[in-house]
Amino acid sequence: MHSKKARPKWTIWIWAARPKTLWAAASPVFLGAAIAFGEGVFHTFSAVCALLVAVFIQVGTNYANDYQDFAHGADTAERKGPLRITQAGLARPGTVRAAAGLAFLLALLAGLYLVARGGWFLLFVGLISILCGALYSAGRYSLAYLGIADLFVLVFFGPVAVAGTHYAQALAFSWPAALAGLGPGFLATAILLVNNTRDIAEDRAAGKKTLVARWGRGAGVALYGVCVAGAALTAAASALLAGNPWLLTALLAMPWGLANLRTLRATSDPAVLNPLLGSTSRLLLAYSLLFGFGWIM
């Protein structure tokens, strides 16, 4: 169980936002902005707004997940993962739900400039992203409970985020940016796989049919390896298609991914897997920055 020792009230919202994993939202935006910069179409204010939209949607999703998993019995006193403020009794369920709504509203407000500049297509993408975040674990027919959250993360934290960020600046769709987005998408999915591998017993008890809960811990480890390999292949394919060997710089992050894979394979100890969430998030950041460096070069 998590300690309820006294702490400043505002800090619980920092905990609930799960700052160590927010790089999953920011990293594809960095890559999309780097691609735009490399093409000479970088637009500073649009890039900043895209970053705010991505981070606020992720924070809102984390708050909503905090509330929804408690409401549906997936979070109990036996929880192994990082602090959940609803389950720990640090905030009322209604307050956490309202905080999620506020974060999504801030994401919408941050995106108004992008819509004004880039058109209704960006509003559609933003609303779908917010809807998926709000309903991520809202009941037995949600993304998380049906076991399709992995696909959502791959697509929305990958091609949608990278190509969407690029589009907000260039005002034109780019297939190379969409392809490059698969790399961050794979590694963001790897973060989810660590979480679901750690929580396999609790998820099965709550009827949360994640891919790992359906297929077993071994599948979670294997899929993590697929995600690392997928990110490497994405960089290689992008380098080949663009005729830009600098994009192979992203492969420098791959030994880190393999080290994380060995850790996941070796243990089911939550004390090890919880830090692995942050490590995979930082791997995603490093990969995206290296990939972006290659585009700029």
* Whole-angstrom distance, CA of residue 115 vs CA of residue 134: 21
Report residue 7's pLDDT band, with 50, 70 and 90 as the boundaries: low
Please indicate whether residue 106 or residue 80 has the higher confidence score (pLDDT).
Answer: 106
How confident is the model at residue 2, as a pLDDT? 45
> By mean pLDDT, which of 30-34, 40-44, 142-146, 163-167 is the weakest?
142-146
The pLDDT assigned to 80 comes to: 56
Give the per-residue pLDDT at 96: 87
Per-residue pLDDT of 220-262, as tens digits, reads 999 999 999 999 999 999 999 999 999 999 999 999 999 999 9
CA distance 19 to 5: 20
What is the rounded CA–CA span in Å between residue 16 and residue 106?
Answer: 17
Residue 6 domain-assigned (yes or no): no
Q: What H or E segment, with its residue span, contains residue 241?
A: helix 217-242
Range of weakest confidence among 20-29, 103-112, 135-144, 259-268: 135-144
Whether 197 is covered by a domain: the verdict is yes
> In CATH, what number is assigned to the domain containing residue 199?
1.10.600
Neighbours of 27 (CB within 10 A): 29
* Residue predicted with more confidence, 234 or 68: 234
Residue 3 is predicted with a pLDDT of 45
Q: What integer pLDDT is reported at residue 1 of this predicted model? A: 41
Examine residue 1 and state whether it is found in any structural domain, yes or no. Answer: no
| Measured distance CA(297)–CA(284) in Å, rounded | 20
Of 235, 229, 172, 260, the residue nearest 31 (C-alpha): 235
Element housing 297 (H / E): none
What pLDDT score does 40 carry? 95
Count of the separate structural domains present in the chain? 1
In this prediction, residue 81 carries a pLDDT of 55
Residues 162/31, Cβ–Cβ less than 8 Å: yes
Q: Which amino acid is at 268?
A: S
Burial 95-106 (b: 16+ CB within 10 A, else e): ebbebbeebbeb
Q: Is residue 59 part of a domain?
A: yes
Question: Greatest CA span in the chain, whole angstroms?
Answer: 57
Domain residues for the domain of 146 are 11-296
DSSP, residue by residue, 193-216: HHHHHHTHHHHHHTT---HHHHH-
Asked if residue 2 belongs to a domain, the reply is: no
Q: Where residue 21 falls among pLDDT bands split at 50, 70, 90?
A: confident
In a domain, 5, yes or no: no
Would 132 be classed as within a structural domain? yes
Amino acid 75: pLDDT: 52
pLDDT beyond 80 at 72: no
Rounded to two decimals, the pTM is: 0.90
Please give the share of the chain, as a percent, with pLDDT higher than 90: 67
- The answer, yes or no, to whether residue 31 has pLDDT greater than 80, is yes
| pLDDT for the residue 57 | 95
Q: What is the CA radius of gyration of the chain?
A: 19
Q: Is the Cβ–Cβ distance between 165 and 125 less than 8 Å?
A: no
pLDDT, tens digit, for every residue of 133-177?
888 777 666 777 777 889 999 999 999 999 999 999 999 999 999
289: in domain: yes
pLDDT of residue 51 exceeding 60, the answer is yes
